[in-house]
Every structure is written in structure tokens, then in C-alpha cells.
Amino acid sequence: MARRPLPRILSHGGAQLARSRELARTAADSATDVLHPLITITRGLRRLASAGRRRWAETPKDRRGPLLFLAASVVLVVALMPYGPLLAVVTVMATAAWQGRDRRPKAPQGPDPSRSRRLKSLYEALVPYFSTPDDPEPLYSHGGAWEKAFPEYEFDGGGRITHLVISYPAYFPDGEPESRARIEHLLAAKSGRDREYHFAWDEEGNLLTLRALAPLPADIAAQRFVTSPGETVLGFTDPIRVQRTLPLSYGEERRDVPPVVWRTGIRSTAPHLLALGQPGSGTSTLLRSIALQALQHGDVMIVDGGGTGEYACLTGRDGVLAVECGPAGAAESLKWAAQETERRLIAVNRAHQAGDPPPEDTRRPLWILLDRPTVFTHLAAEDGRPDPQALLHMPLRHGRPANVTVVVADQLDSLETLSDAVRQHTRARVVLGPATAEQLESVLGAPPPSTPVDQIPAGRGYARLGTGPVHRLQVPATPNPYDDATSEALRQAVLELLPPRSTPADEEARQDAPAQEAATPASPVRLEKVPSDRTPDRDAHGRTTPAHDDEDKLPAEAMAASPAPQQPQHREAAVAESS
């Protein structure tokens, strides 16, 4: 069935609707201002007519005749007087304007006493930072007026500050990060620590704008995102710095939400990702979300150092080369990843030298996802074996031209245990869970745009892609569908995104057994499955995959020159072993 494109209104019509509504609102306000006298007089005439009808209804029937005679006499006298009709019209219009005035009580000027006390307290707290003894006309002084310092302010229904514009003196060192951090910390403490605040410094106008941020939606389930190949949705953020929106199924309705899109491939400036967080912060959820999106256009190999079965749902799926949880299998898989990266580079280089396009097997993206690789580092150090992270040097440094992407997730306190190659070549960074401003700046390379809080839901954090700005991030809910604590709606959402399972290895072995017995009738053959800590010889697309420990490794040149087999084999193909 052909896939019908989404209506344009779902993809980029939200901004046009917003502009149209703003223009209509502006036109209506302008028309109201111009026609305000006519509207007032019309309202007054309507009120006078209503009063006349009530007066006529209240008059007894025996007095209505004399009343009509009196009204006719007044009209006749006015008509015969010089300028009488003109004076009558002016009088009626003035009376109508008076009766049509807005009689609603005026809103009190300024905030109520409780809000005034809150602003006064905030003003007094800023005096030590925004004042000096040498200032002849200080804007901030003890007992001074806060109205000049706070030109704009807004409160919510509970009397808490939601928007505040602060004017500060020109001699304040607003270009120093330490000075800014002190002011932001003070404002966050005085406005409430349980909310996130965004600070915008206008150094030219000496203005600081504080805005209380609304919580990011934490109930967006995993789904197919409207993205192009090479784009991965890490999560969702505020519309402050992101102008793009994606149409999403948000519960029972559809909304346009601004995403944080990570671009990978040969033109990416941040081809590899490092995600750090506290236990239970959602780093495994982020890796599952990335894996489900990567399987649409590429192959995925997963190395799980946690050993909790977070990625068991991906085992045996189309496009999943391996899901390794043991030290031996992880080392072999990473060794094969380095060899595959080298093979791709040689093949691409030969194609470029010959003036040909790159081979087809080098264009398909290869994703290497590692969850807590520092666990294998500790185990290798205890056993006296080489660190498996050393095998990531080739994919990290040369993976971009070979369409190889590496994603590493680990705990925040294991940052120093990660290898230098991981820390140097992962230019896309994500920090999830509670973290201090110093930790965020050390990982992301820049301070966050808002004040971090202590209590946040899983999957909430910050992201920075290369040298771009720091975004607030909420990872889409992608739980382990085999976990009993997962709700049924989220479980079905993840299961619908999983690719179909490949042909079981035992079935392929039974199909190949008659041909192998006919080729060697004198030697009995015993079929067995590859152990879980080993990796296969061929993947589902017929390319070379990690070899066994007892097999010889081909050099990179020979691997590049050897032709690909005609018939693809399964990643868990059975091997024949002489008994």
C-alpha cells in the first residue's frame, strides 16, 4: 500500500496559523480602538431605549394619554426653537455616551499587597549585587523603590512569579559567568526551587528576563517520527531555540512538539554521541529509542554491560547483528566493528580513486550502541586483558566517512573511566537525571540555559549537539516491553516498532543438514548453535560479521578485495563441527 503523505497543516502549518491568529487579533484591537466612541454611543442608545420601554410599561393606562401629550408638546417646542433640533441631537448623544460608558470596576493599579511584598523582598536581595557606594544615583538601595527596577512582571494564580524583567546598572559585570551564576542562583531561590527558569541577558539594554518554564511532556510514547534518513530524534524540548516541530500522537490527540534532532552521516559535525546519567535516569531508554529509529535504515550492534536484559527484545530481529552481554562476546564484537570500519574505508577509498560511487554495502549505516562499557573495563583489568574500549578508536575516529555511528551510555560518575577516544570524539552529548550546574558544564562544555532541579522524571535532562546551544530534553518513553512494570500502552507502542524476527538458526541448520551430509558421507556431522558470547560469520545482508576466536582474521586489504557472497545467511547460522 502506498504511503500517503501527511497534510501540510500537520508538518509546517502551525506557524502560519499562529501568524494568522496574531494578525486577526491585531486588526480586531485596532478596529475596536477606532470605533470605540460609536460603540459607546450605540450602547447608550440601547440602554436609553430599554429604560423608556420599562418606563412605559410601568405607567398606568389612565396616565399614558397625558404622558403622550406632554412628550408631543416637548417635541413641538424643541422643533420651533432656533437650533432646537441640533441641541436635541447633541443632548441625546451626550446622554447616550454617558449611559454607554464602561461601568465595570477598574482593575487595581499594580500588584496586590502580597505580590508587592514578594517583589520588594526580591529587590532587597539584589541590592548587594547591583549597587556600589560610589553610585550617585543608585537604582538599587535599601528601602528604595522596586518599580523602576522591575518594569515588567507576571504572576500565576498562586501568586508566584512566572515572568520578570529586571533592569540592572551598567557597571554590573554581566559578561562574567561567575557573576551571572550568582544572580541566577539567587533569583531561582527566591522564586521557588521546584521549577526550572530560563534567563535571557540583554547586555546592550542592561536587562535580565526571567521566565518560569513549563514542564516538558513526559508521556509521549515511542512512535514513528517524521524525519529523513540520517536524522534521529533524541527527545523534545521548549520552542525557545527550536523552530521546527513534529506532528506526534499525544495521547488521544495530535500535537506539534519541537524536537531535538541529531543528524548523523558523512556530513555530520557530531557523528557520535555520549549519554551520561544517574542510575534510573533513562540512558537505556534513550539507547532503545535510538536503536528503534536506526533499524529503519541501517544495522545495529548492541553491547550491554549492565547485564539486566534491557535489550532482549531486539535479539534476533532483522537488522540487529548482535546483542552481546558477556566480556568475550563484547570484545569480539568490538574487534569486528573496528575491522568492518577499516574495510569500509578501504572500499570507499578505492571507489573514490576509480571515480566510482561508494559500494552499496558501505552506504548502509552501521550503529554501535554500548551501554555501560566501563563494566567490561573493570573486568578486563581484573583478568589482565586489554581494555575493550581501545577497540573503539577506529570506529570513533574514522566512522563518519564509513557510515559508522557510535553511541555510548554510562553513569555520570564513570566519566573519568571512559577512554580518551570516547571523550574526544563524542561531540554530541546528553546528560539525564539530576546533576549540578558544574557537572552539566563539564560534560556539555557550556552551562545549561535553565536552572536544574533535583526532582525530575526519568528521561529528563539536557542535550548539546556539537557547538550548538544547550537544549532541555525529554526522551520519548521507550521502556523494555518485557518488563512487568511497563504499562500495556507503552509495551504495545514499543512492540509495534520492532522489526520482524529473522529465521531461527535451528531451522536453517535443519535445512542445510542434508546437503552437508551428502557432501561428506563418511564423516558424521553434528550441528550446534553459536554460543551467546560469540558473533556470527555473516549477517542478514551477506556482509562479514565478527568471526570466532579459533578462526584466522583476514587482513583489511583481503577483506576489501574479497567479493560478497551471493546468498545472505542468518546472523546465528549453525556451524558444522566434526565429532
- The CA angle 225-244-5, to the nearest 5 degrees, is 45
For the chain, counts of helices (H) and of strands (E): 17, 18
Instruction: Report the alpha-carbon distance of residue 433 to residue 409 in Å, rounded.
Output: 13
Judge whether 457 is annotated as a binding position: no
**Half-sphere exposure in the Cβ direction for 466 (13 Å, CA):** 12
Cβ-contact 244, 238 below 8 angstroms = no
CA 516, 521, 526, 532 torsion-angle sign: negative
Q: What angle do CA 403, 407, 410 make, to 5 degrees?
A: 165
Q: Is 142 helix (H, G, I), strand (E, B) or coil?
A: coil
20 is in an annotated binding site: no
Give the whole-angstrom CA distance, residue 314 versus residue 371: 14
Instruction: Please check if 281 is assigned to a binding site.
Output: yes
277 is in an annotated binding site: yes
Please report where in the chains the cell 450605540 appears, as a residue. 42
DSSP reduced 3-state for 577: strand
282 is in an annotated binding site: yes
Q: Is the dihedral of CA 338, 340, 345, 350 positive or negative?
A: positive
280 is in an annotated binding site: yes
Is 299 in contact with 539 (CB distance < 8 Å)?
Answer: yes
E strands, 383-500, where?
404-411, 428-432, 460-465, 470-474
Burial 508-532 (b: 16+ CB within 10 A, else e): bbeebeeeeeeeeeeeeeebeebee
Q: Is 516 annotated to bind ligand?
A: no
Residue with cell 536581595: 125
Residue 279 among known ligand-binding residues? yes
The count of C-alpha atoms lying within 13 angstroms of the C-alpha of 33, restricted to the half-sphere facing its C-beta, is 6
Which amino acids are annotated as binding site for ATP, given as ranges?
277-284
Which amino acids are annotated as binding site, given as ranges?
277-284
